[in-house]
Structure formats: C-alpha cells, structure tokens
Amino acid sequence: MEDTDTAPAPQLSAVEARILGCLIEKEITLPDYYPLTLNSLVSACNQSTNRDPVMSLDEGSVQRALENMKTRGWVFQVTISGARVQKFRHNIKGKLPRLEKPAISLLAVLLLRGAQTVGELRQRTDRLQTFPDLERVEAELNGLISYPEGPVVACLPAGPGRRVALYAQLLTGEPTGIAPQEEYIVPPAAVAPTAADQEWKERMEIEIQLLKTQLARLKASLGVED
C-alpha cells in the first residue's frame, strides 16, 4: 500500500482544472481567439462536448477561480492594445517547464475529461496532437508519471472491475471515485539525480513502466488475475 505521505497534494480545484484545460485546448485549436476573454472561457468551460463531467459555471465562479489561479501563477491576465476587455492565458510552461506539446496535450485532455485509457487518449487528443501509435502515447504518459519534480499523472492498472489500465491527472490531487489509493501507481518523491544519471534514469523508468502496462494489458486480455 502506498504511503499516504507520498500522495500528491492538490494544486488545482475542479473548476481551476477545467479552466486550465480549456486554456490549453483553445490555444491549440483556436489560436486566433487566444488568449480568451472571460465570456469565451466560461463558454469553453461549459461545453457539452469533449468534457466530462459537463459543468454549468457562471461568470462569477470562473472569475473567482481565475483570481486564485493568478495569485499562484497558473494563469496570466493579458491587456491587448486596442481591446476593450481583459483576456487570460495559461502558464503551464512556467509551472511545469519540462513538458513539451505532446505531454501538455495529453494533460489537457485528462484535465477536461477525467481518467481515460491509452486508446481513448490517443483518439481524443488528436485535435491537439497526433500520435502515431499507442506506444508513443504511453511513453509520454510515463514521462508525466516520472516527472522529476513529482508525478503529474498516475496509472490505475487493470484489475478486478477494470479490464484495462486508466490514466488520471494528479493536479487536483489523488484520483477519487475510481480506485483505492493502493491500486494506482505513483513513484516515490523524486531525489535530485546527477546530470550524468538523469537521462539514463528517465529512459529506464519509461521502459519499465511501459513493460508493466503491457503486462497488465496482456493479463487482462487472458483473464488472468494477480
């Protein structure tokens, strides 16, 4: 059973996670309209498509969440010359500087749609980032799991009641309503490695995690229980 001391502390509320996911999504899919106005952001948060759960947020709720996120550096308010309204943009690269577009795209979909399988993530992320195969998706997810400053994503392996592994973002804290804590994989808090060891360590962690995921999938397809 995982030590509760290693469980990641929540960094975002559910509303803040929805806002962050929307800002990342719209930056990629609607660059001409990004940064977003408050009204546009409310509409994005309340979309009935590509959202799980569907929310019904009012302008005040989104404004309060934005103010809280601004104080913690998750979003910036932008003043554009000639514009009559304030706009907002995310600061994901400032908070998680090691992430590149493929991983950021996966994280956005996890923020917007909750825990998902590798196959679901590949399909649903296609609007933001095209992955050539499932192995590339798994490699990016394992990079998020092994993020040096602490895990950003957890793998919930296949087991009783779940035929395939799910992946969940950890920015809102420990996954709830899916599995008890001992059933998901979060690596111990990272110890700062030397520069010479870092690349080798990250590569080995990704390969080991990929093998575990493939083994869990094989067991599930054969109906074998641990």
Largest CA distance in the chain: 63
Q: Which domain holds residue 60?
A: 13-95
Quote the pLDDT of residue 144: 98
Poorest-pLDDT segment among 41-45, 78-82, 103-107, 213-217? 213-217
6 assigned to some structural domain: no
Query: Does residue 196 share a domain with residue 87?
Result: no
2 assigned to some structural domain: no
Domain boundary among 95, 125, 155: 95
Query: Does residue 210 share a domain with residue 163?
Result: yes
Query: Does residue 91 share a domain with residue 107?
Result: no
pLDDT tens readout for residues 79-119: 877 767 899 999 999 999 999 999 999 999 999 999 999 99
For residue 184, what pLDDT band results from cuts at 50, 70 and 90?
Answer: low
Quote the pLDDT of residue 168: 97
* C-alpha to C-alpha distance for 226 and 224, rounded to whole angstroms: 7
* pTM beyond cutoff 0.85: no
List the CATH number of the domain containing 57.
1.10.10.10
Query: Does residue 186 share a domain with residue 85?
Result: no
For residue 160, what pLDDT band results from cuts at 50, 70 and 90?
Answer: confident
Looking at the 3D structure of the chain, how many domains does it have?
Answer: 2
Rg (CA), the chain: 18
Of 146, 171, 166, give the one whose Cα is nearest residue 156.
166
The CA dihedral of 101, 107, 110, 111, to the nearest 10 degrees, is -110
Which residue do the tokens 């080798």 mark? 200
Query: Does residue 213 share a domain with residue 123?
Result: yes
Token code pair at residue 159: 């087991």
Token code pair at residue 117: 């399988």
